[in-house]
Structure 1
Amino acid sequence: MVSSQVKIGFIGFGNMASAMADGWIASGKVPAGHLYACAGHYDALVERTASRGMNACHDASEVVTASDVVVVAVKPYLIEGVLAPVAGLFAGKTILSVAAGWKSEDYERVIPGTHHLSTVPNTPVAICEGVIACEAAHTLDAGEYTLLNELLGLLGTVVEVESRLLSVAGTVGGCSPAFIAMVIEALGDAAVKYGIPRAKAYAMVSQMVAGTAKLQLATGQHPGAMKDAVCSPGGTTIRGVAALEEAGMRSAFIKAIDAIEG
């Protein structure tokens, strides 16, 4: 099966599930009509799916029945209660988990014998620029593994990690967009302080962040070397770097990850 033929169902249709749906639709490879979803509030779900050309389902059993790939996108504490009643419907289905903290061993405990892969994506999947951390341990066969990698590859960069690293990989990839948004907001405020209109400030800063990231990916340069390349001896940039170091910028980012993982 190829991505254009597969039918994908979401159990839960919150921010992450809708971002994935938007990304698949935007890719042009997965027709909106091949996407199904159920959620706690059906009326609101109908509005959200209809605007995308998707199909609204009343419950998890309807989603599983309609789909080839089932995306588990409910809160972790709800998973067991949602999946156990429909466990008998998963024969021939592929399960893609996007629930933080749930690994292969957890799914084997709740719905043993099913074919599943645990992942942690981030919200830029909505524009096919995401990072998707995938657990190396899974129960997929070769064909299913190829299909899910193809589907996830449409949404961004897929990074496979050991089970013990899935949490921190998901934290760095999944939570950091919030941190970078704060950086964009702060630099935008600084630009506004000196007279640049806010919309232009955000456009400049966001493009700077995107361009810097793309440059690193394209060249493979160490971030420190990229920083050094902008810092002339006695120049303006090195003074800004010194101020950030004095303010503990690096330590603050590391502590943010510690706060989540700790």
Structure 2
Amino acid sequence: MDVTTVNIGFLGFGNMASAIADGWLAAGTMPAERLYACAKHYDALCERTAARGMHACETAEELVDAADIVVIAIKPYLIEGTLPALAPRLAGKVVVSVAAGWASEDYERVIPGVHHISTMPNTPVAVCEGLVALETAHTLTPEEHRLVEALFKPLGTVVEVETRLLSVAGTIGGCTPAFIAMMIEALADAAVKYGIPRATAYKMVSQAVAGTGRLQLATGTHPGAMKDAVCSPGGTTIRGVAELERAGMRSAFIRAIDAIEGK
């Protein structure tokens, strides 16, 4: 198997699966005719796949038979009741999980002997600006692992994390877009308050956020140093920074992660 010939099937085609498919299509790395999907509501699935030029499968068995790589994108609570019956068909395939909370040892329990890896992507993969965490524990061959990496790299940044860190990696990657979207909305509201049209405000703030992230990734500069670079003594930015510190912005972000991780 390689990127130019592999067929990929999505078992479940919700927001995360469709974001991955959209990213592959946008990157031009996977043609639509090699993408398959199966979901509970077949009529709705047909509409979503037809819009992308993908194949819709009526059953999970049909999907697995058509695919070389099967992406597990169903709700986590459905996995244990779904995969064991598919295990014989999954032999010789690569299983890539995007289901929250399911690590390598969990898949070994329900589909022993099947080659699998657990991943945690986030929705910006749809525009090839995502974050994809790969669990270091997996049962793939070296060739299969290289293939999975090659598939995900065009979708953004790929990192490897130990099993004990997979949950928090998924939380950081998966929840940060919501937190940043709230920040974009709030800063745009402030811009609108002072007269900037809302569409322009969203464009300005979103570009500032995207540019800052890209600058940090490109240079590796410590975020604190990036903040210091625009905080002139007695200037406007440092006054805003001081107000955000008084409001507890940093601790609020940390508490949000604590709330999700149950700590």
In structure 2, the partner of 1:187 is: 187
Partners of 2:243 and 2:114 lie apart in 1 by 53
Residue 84 (structure 1) aligned with residue 88 (structure 2): no
TM-score norm. by structure 2 comes to 0.99
Partners of 1:55 and 1:187 lie apart in 2 by 41
SS at match of 1:51: helix
Partners of 2:85 and 2:162 lie apart in 1 by 30
Deviation by residue 1:13-50 (Cα, 9 ceiling, x = unmatched): 00000000000111111110100000010000000000
Partners of 2:230 and 2:128 lie apart in 1 by 30
In structure 1, the partner of 2:222 is: 222
In structure 2, the partner of 1:259 is: 259
In structure 2, the partner of 1:172 is: 172
User: For the Cα contact (< 8 Å) 1:8–1:68, is it kept in 2?
Assistant: yes
Paired amino acid for 2:46: V
SS at match of 1:5: coil
Partners of 2:153 and 2:216 lie apart in 1 by 20
TM superposition shift of 1:84: 1.5
Number of residue-to-residue matches in the alignment: 262
Deviation by residue 1:147-195 (Cα, 9 ceiling, x = unmatched): 0010011211110000000000110011110000000000000000000
In structure 1, the partner of 2:131 is: 131
Equivalences for residues 112-123 of structure 1 within 5 A: 112-123=112-123
Paired amino acid for 1:85: A
TM-score norm. by structure 1 comes to 0.99
TM superposition shift of 1:95: 0.2
Partners of 2:4 and 2:17 lie apart in 1 by 19
Partners of 1:37 and 1:88 lie apart in 2 by 19
Partners of 2:130 and 2:157 lie apart in 1 by 6
Partners of 2:105 and 2:2 lie apart in 1 by 28
Partners of 2:8 and 2:156 lie apart in 1 by 18
Percentage of identical aligned residues: 73
* Long gaps (5+) in structure 1: none
In structure 1, the partner of 2:247 is: 247
In structure 2, the partner of 1:212 is: 212
Partners of 2:142 and 2:69 lie apart in 1 by 15
User: For the Cα contact (< 8 Å) 1:4–1:31, is it kept in 2?
Assistant: no
Please, what is the CA RMSD of the aligned residues? Answer: 0.6
SS at match of 2:52: coil
User: For the Cα contact (< 8 Å) 1:104–1:138, is it kept in 2?
Assistant: yes
In structure 1, the partner of 2:59 is: 59
In structure 2, the partner of 1:29 is: 29
Equivalences for residues 141-160 of structure 1 within 5 A: 141-160=141-160
TM superposition shift of 1:2: 2.3
Deviation by residue 1:97-116 (Cα, 9 ceiling, x = unmatched): 00010000000000001000
Deviation by residue 1:48-76 (Cα, 9 ceiling, x = unmatched): 00000000001111111000000000111
TM superposition shift of 1:204: 0.3
In structure 1, the partner of 2:13 is: 13
Q: Which runs of 4+ in 1 moved over 2 A?
A: none
In structure 2, the partner of 1:197 is: 197
Partners of 1:87 and 1:58 lie apart in 2 by 18
TM superposition shift of 1:4: 2.3
Partners of 2:4 and 2:247 lie apart in 1 by 50
Paired amino acid for 1:143: E
In structure 1, the partner of 2:107 is: 107
